[in-house]
Chain A
Amino acid sequence: MSRQSNRTTESKKMNSELFTLTYGALVTQLCKDYENDEEVNKQLDKMGYNIGVRLIEDFLARSSVGRCHDFRETADVIAKVAFKMYLGITPSVTNWSPAGDEFSLILESNPLVDFVELPDNHSNLVYSNLLCGVLRGALEMVQMAVDVRFAQDMLRGDNVTEIRMKFIKRIEENLPAGDE
């Protein structure tokens, strides 16, 4: 009986390790293809964006979360539902700006960086930059233009990993020309 339950937790863990290892292989390949870290960061962001615009549909289908009324609600949904669903972690939402348009996600652990160490010659690499692209792409599909960047990164020596998200503007839905 207990052996059975061992298998299920093992298989869940292995699945997230598959993702982690594949991501590692991707970053390694990008570092080989591009000479400088800035290019790799940009590429990761772009790929993340492509994933994000599709992921949002998957997320909405699975989570049956309704439309968010404000940015605070969005932040909560991202941290408590989305991150939990896809990465199994629940970052905390803090550091709200006075205007309420900017906040931080604090990740105590980041599954993407399991088994990862940054070598010295890649100090400018934002290893998990894919996440920024994913968040940006996903939110764009729900009519929010946001700016996402890493403020702190445990891989680069900080204590925690902090993602800073800033609301830029609402994207107006474009009605087709003929509609009135």
Chain B
Amino acid sequence: MADEALFQFLHNELIQYVYKSAEQGEMENGRCITKLENMGFRVGQGLIERFTKDTPRFKDELDVMKFICKDFWTSVFKKQIDNLRTNHQGIYVLQDNKFRLLTQLSAGKQYLEHAPKYLAFTCGLVRGGLSNLGVKSIVTAEVSVMPACEWSFVRMQGLV
């Protein structure tokens, strides 16, 4: 099933819509990013519930992160996270060298300023997923050369 293509088209339309309605209402860029992130959050919450219905309880936070890097990322983006780093004190950095939603955009530094638009939804998605797994976090993403992308999760409080 070509679900991935369909989702990518829908995702792109979503971004166009949010930015177009912002133009008419004179919202700033930040508000659009927040809007997209919030939509991702709701979707992430629902998605993680469906996905982990039958999986056993996670042993600890690192287990949750490994789940996100392997199973969650594979299901949603068809590949695993390439690199996971942590300071074991609540900060995790995930590296994806070929982020699916950016590959169609550019393969270098072109359009770099537009990259955040395409990352906002996914930031929310992951934040929502983590939230429903009991991990409150702040998720941010950084791109220096497309399509490689770095995701940072900062845990706000421990597992419930």
**A interface residue numbers (CB < 8 A to B):** 7, 10-19, 21-26, 28-29, 33, 43, 47, 50-51, 54-55, 58, 62, 85-88, 115
Cross-chain pairs A/B with CB under 8 angstroms, 15 sampled: A10-B75, A12-B1, A17-B46, A21-B42, A21-B43, A22-B11, A22-B39, A26-B10, A26-B39, A33-B21, A47-B17, A50-B16, A55-B6, A58-B2, A86-B3
Contact A51 B10 (CB under 8 A): yes
Contact B43 A22 (CB under 8 A): yes
Bound: A19/B46 CA distance, A: 12
Residues from chain A with a CB closer than 8 A to the CB of B7 are 15, 18-19, 22
Contact A10 B47 (CB under 8 A): no
Bound: A19/B1 CA distance, A: 12
- If A10-B51, A21-B46, A25-B39 touch, whether A15 touches B4 (CB-CB below 8 Å) is yes
The chain A residue sitting closest to B10, CB to CB, is A22
Q: Which of the residues B6, B13, B43, B51 comes within 8 Å of A25, measured between beta carbons?
A: B43
> What 1/0 mask marks residues of chain B from 40 to 57 whose CB sits below 8 Å from any chain A CB?
101100110011000000
Bound: A19/B14 CA distance, A: 12
- If A19-B6, A47-B17 touch, whether A86 touches B39 (CB-CB below 8 Å) is no
Residues from chain B with a CB closer than 8 A to the CB of A19 are 3, 6-7, 10
Contact B21 A47 (CB under 8 A): no
Residues from chain B with a CB closer than 8 A to the CB of A10 are 51, 75
Residue of B10, B35, B40, B42 ringed by the most chain A CB atoms within 10 A: B10
Bound: A101/B31 CA distance, A: 46
9 extra interface residue pairs, beta carbon distance < 8 Å, beyond A22-B14, A25-B39, A51-B10 = A12-B3, A14-B51, A15-B7, A18-B75, A23-B10, A25-B43, A26-B10, A55-B9, A87-B1
Contact A16 B3 (CB under 8 A): yes
B91 close to chain A: CB less than 8 A: no
Residue of B6, B10, B39, B71 ringed by the most chain A CB atoms within 10 A: B6
Residue of B3, B47, B50 ringed by the most chain A CB atoms within 10 A: B3
Bound: A51/B6 CA distance, A: 9
Residues from chain B with a CB closer than 8 A to the CB of A11 are 71, 74-75
Bound: A43/B5 CA distance, A: 21
Contact B9 A18 (CB under 8 A): no
The chain B residue sitting closest to A33, CB to CB, is B21
Residues from chain A with a CB closer than 8 A to the CB of B18 are 29
Residues from chain A with a CB closer than 8 A to the CB of B1 are 12, 15-16, 85-88
